[in-house]
Amino acid sequence: MFNKVSVVGLGYIGLPTAAVIASRGIEVIGIDVNQHAVDTINQGEIHIVEPDLDIVVRSAVMTGKLKATTVPEAADAFMVAVPTPFKGDNHEPDLSYIESAAKAIAPVLEKGNLVVLESTSPVGATEKMAGWLAEARPDLTFPQQSGDAADIKVAHCPERVLPGYVLQELVSNDRVIGGMSDACNKRAVELYQTFVRGECILTNSRTAEMAKLTENSFRDVNIAFANELSLICEKLKINVWELIKLSNRHPRVNILNPGPGVGGHCIAVDPWFIVNSCPEEAKVIATAREVNDGKPHWVIDQVKQAADEFKKPVIACLGLAFKADIDDLRESPALDITTKLANEDVGQVIAVEPNISSLPENLVKAGVEFMDLERALEVANVVVVLVDHKQFKAADKLAFSKKVVIDTRGVLA
């Protein structure tokens, strides 16, 4: 039984998780260091973008089941969902947010509590978190010393939801649960079964950490393969989209799609955690990161070559989001490419992004014009397709016919 659950970190993972658990009738305390986020949530509103999240949060706050605060309080379980970025040239994982969260909740921990780390983390982070908790609370026992008998149960359960589908996937995805002991696993399963319909699969914390990193690295390596093919095909004058379609007709081949680079906050970050812990061994994983990070520069070079053919080139960049049909511009290669084209004066740059209502300040400052698709296709000489939004896929292909088109997503293929 869980009467009260505390979620630490009310961002893209923590807030939906808190709201979904509250919707199951459990009292949820959301903790965040950001006073603005806390105030917004307590008014029944949200500070992030995710379909339908506003409705679930509003109802959870109105029914009194969800409350946000900056000050931790006692609860039966604590779920830590804070950022785990990397720092420096060696992509060293930055665990300072986990450490701060552990230090913040330690004073309110009580015998019998469960602490789950949800943040995507390098291998060993859950043990480190348990260490920080133990340091702050010498009066309690933790699984690293006392195993199943410990006062506090600690587990890792990595989030695996896809931005844009978070509310569905939070409930329907299978969950990998890595407890620091059998008793930790048992308690963690009880928590997840209050809101997860998928299967809960048990392992230890290190394997659970690695499983999450492996999933995102698998995708990164496969996208790198597709991106590398796109470079090879450009040189060999082959349509990469046709090539991939043909190769994928083989029953055991399933190539992903090339693009302008890999964006978002997970796939371009998590593989570095593996590389950082095993630099000698993780060769393919490291190279994939480099291939994907190199793709935006290659696209910029292609645009520059195309623009060179015009006296006063007008370049329309179609899409700014980090992937199709969302309005999230953070860590977006499309935004990065558009910004660089404008800052490097490659030509007059136009941006088309049907999912936002105004341009980010830095693009406005760089002189980028915001236009609808139809008008942009009228005035541009060079059209760069950066995101496969549904509006671009549905556009009249004839409108592109007199333009120099650089189609990084195969929208016109």
Q: Angle at Cα 199 formed by Cα 324 and Cα 205, nearest 5°?
A: 90
Residue 252 or 311: the one with the smaller Cβ distance to ligand SAJ is 252
* From 65, 67, 153, 212, active-site residue: 212
Residue 96 or 254: the one with the smaller Cβ distance to ligand SAJ is 254
Tell me the closest approach of the beta carbon of residue 301 to ligand SAJ, in angstroms.
18
Tell me the closest approach of the beta carbon of residue 263 to ligand SAJ, in angstroms.
4
- Torsion, Cα 236 238 244 246, to 10 degrees, reads -120
Q: In this structure, are residues 292 and 224 in contact, taking their beta carbons and an 8 Å threshold? A: yes
- Helices (H) and strands (E) in the chain — how many of each? 16, 15
Residue 30 or 158: the one with the smaller Cβ distance to ligand SAJ is 158
Tell me the closest approach of the beta carbon of residue 209 to ligand SAJ, in angstroms.
12
Whether 237 is a known active-site residue: answer no
> Measured between alpha carbons, how far is 206 from 387 in angstroms, rounded to an integer?
36
Residue 32 or 159: the one with the smaller Cβ distance to ligand SAJ is 159
Q: Angle at Cα 375 formed by Cα 371 and Cα 380, nearest 5°?
A: 90
Place of tokens 């371009």: 268
Residue 113 or 230: the one with the smaller Cβ distance to ligand SAJ is 230
Binding residues (CB under 6 A) for ligand SAJ: these are: 120, 159-163, 215-216, 219, 223, 256-257, 259, 262-264, 266-267, 322-323
Tell me the closest approach of the beta carbon of residue 62 to ligand SAJ, in angstroms.
28
Tell me the closest approach of the beta carbon of residue 353 to ligand SAJ, in angstroms.
14
Q: What is the 3-state secondary structure (H, E, C) of 80-125?
A: ECCCCCEECCCCEECCHHHHHHHHHHHHHCCCCCEEEECCCCCCCH
Beta strands (DSSP E) in 125-257 are 153-156, 175-179, 200-204
Tell me the closest approach of the beta carbon of residue 31 to ligand SAJ, in angstroms.
20
> Measured between alpha carbons, how far is 19 from 170 in angstroms, rounded to an integer?
11
Residue 313 or 333: the one with the smaller Cβ distance to ligand SAJ is 333
* From 266, 295, 317, 323, active-site residue: 266
DSSP annotation string for 206-234: HHHHHHHHHHHHHHHHHHHHHHHHHHHHH
Whether 111 is a known active-site residue: answer no
**Kind plus residue range of the DSSP H or E element containing 391:** helix 390-393
Q: How far is CA 236 from CA 46, 230, 294, in A?
A: 49, 10, 19
> Measured between alpha carbons, how far is 104 from 8 in angstroms, rounded to an integer?
9
> Measured between alpha carbons, how far is 224 from 285 in angstroms, rounded to an integer?
10
Residue 14 or 263: the one with the smaller Cβ distance to ligand SAJ is 263
Tell me the closest approach of the beta carbon of residue 267 to ligand SAJ, in angstroms.
4
> Measured between alpha carbons, how far is 397 from 264 in angstroms, rounded to an integer?
29
**Furthest CA-CA distance within the chain:** 76
Which residues carry out catalysis?
212, 266
